[in-house]
Amino acid sequence: MRLKDKVALITGAASGIGRETALLFAAEGAKVVVVDVNDPAGAETVTAIEQQGCEAVYVHADVSKSADCENMVRVAEQTFGKLNVLFNNAGIMHGDDDNAMTTSEAVWDLTMNINLKGVFLGCKYGIPALKRAGGGSIINTASFVAILGAATPQIAYTASKGGVLSMTRELALIHARENIRVNALCPGPLRTELLMKFLNTEEKKQRRLVHIPMGRFGEAKEMAYAALYLASDESSYVTGTEFMVDGGITAAYVTPQ
C-alpha cells in the first residue's frame, strides 16, 4: 500500500478528480478527509470509501472562506490524529467565463476566490498541520492552460490556474528544507462534468480535441494516479514541479490531423 498510515485531505472530493483520488488514496491505505460544498455527493464519496473497508470523514467547506479551511484541517487532526497529504483540488469553471471584455467582475472574483484563494487558504492552515506531522506532500490542481492558455476563451480560469502554478513554486522553495513538498498537478482536457458543462457544444469539444495528440479527453482516474505518485514517498525528491498529465497537448507544435 503506497499510502499506508497516511492521512490525506482532499478538497472538491465529491466528484471528478477529487472523488477518484479519494477512492484511490483510500484503497492505497490512506485515511481520507473528504471536503466539498456538495454534502450529498460528499457523503456518497465517504460511503464508497467505507464500502472498500477503509476510513473516511466528510467535512463541508467552502474553500474561499478562511474559517471553513481552518476547520477542515482541524477535523483532519482531531479525527485521524495528523495530516500528511493536502490535495487542494477544488475549483470551478464558470460558464460565463470568456474574454476580458465580456467576463464580468463577479465571475472573475468568484473564480479567483475558489481556484486561487482557496489554494492559499488550504496551505495557510494545512502547512502547520503538515509540520506537526513531520512533513508531507501538498498537491495543488493547476491546469495545462497555466502553461499554454486555452483555445476556448476563459480568462478568469486561465489566470487563476497560472496563479496556482506560481504559488506552488513559491511554496516549494519556502518549505523545501522542512520535509514539505509542494507540486502542481496540471491536467489536460478531461471528460469530467466540470469541463463538459463548459464545452457544451460539439464545436467547442472538437476545438479542444484537435489539439490533443492522443485524440481524446483524459479521465479523472488518470489524474488520481498522478496525484497518488505525488502523495506517496516515491516522489520524495519531487517538489516545485508542473506535473503535466495532458495527453501530449503541451508537447504539440502543430495541430495533429
Query: Over the chain, what HEC string results?
Result: CCCCCCEEEEECCCCHHHHHHHHHHHHCCCEEEEEECCHHHHHHHHHHHHHCCCCEEEEECCCCCHHHHHHHHHHHHHHHCCCCEEEECCCCCCCCCCCCCCCCHHHHHHHHHHHHHHHHHHHHHHHHHHHHCCCEEEEEECCCHHHHCCCCCCHHHHHHHHHHHHHHHHHHHHHHHHCEEEEEEEECCECCHHHHHHCCCHHHHHHHHCCCCCCCCECHHHHHHHHHHHHCHHHCCCCCCEEEECCCHHHCCCCCC
Per-residue confidence band for 256, with pLDDT thresholds at 50, 70 and 90:
very low
pTM (2 decimals)?
A: 0.95
What does the pLDDT read at residue 9? 99
Which CATH superfamily hosts domain 7-190+220-239? NAD(P)-binding Rossmann-like Domain (3.40.50.720)
What does the pLDDT read at residue 205? 78
For 127-154, how does the pLDDT look when each residue is reduced to its tens digit (9 = 90+)? 999 999 999 999 999 999 999 988 789 9
Which one, of 84, 86, 87, 35, lies nearest residue 56 by Cα? 35
Catalytic-residue membership of 253? no
Per-residue pLDDT at 255 exceeds 70: no
For 54-102, how does the pLDDT look when each residue is reduced to its tens digit (9 = 90+)? 999 999 999 999 999 999 999 999 999 999 999 999 999 998 999 999 9
* Active-site annotation holder among 125, 157, 229, 253: 157
Of 127-141, 142-156, 169-183, 204-218, the least confident: 204-218
Per-residue confidence band for 254, with pLDDT thresholds at 50, 70 and 90:
low
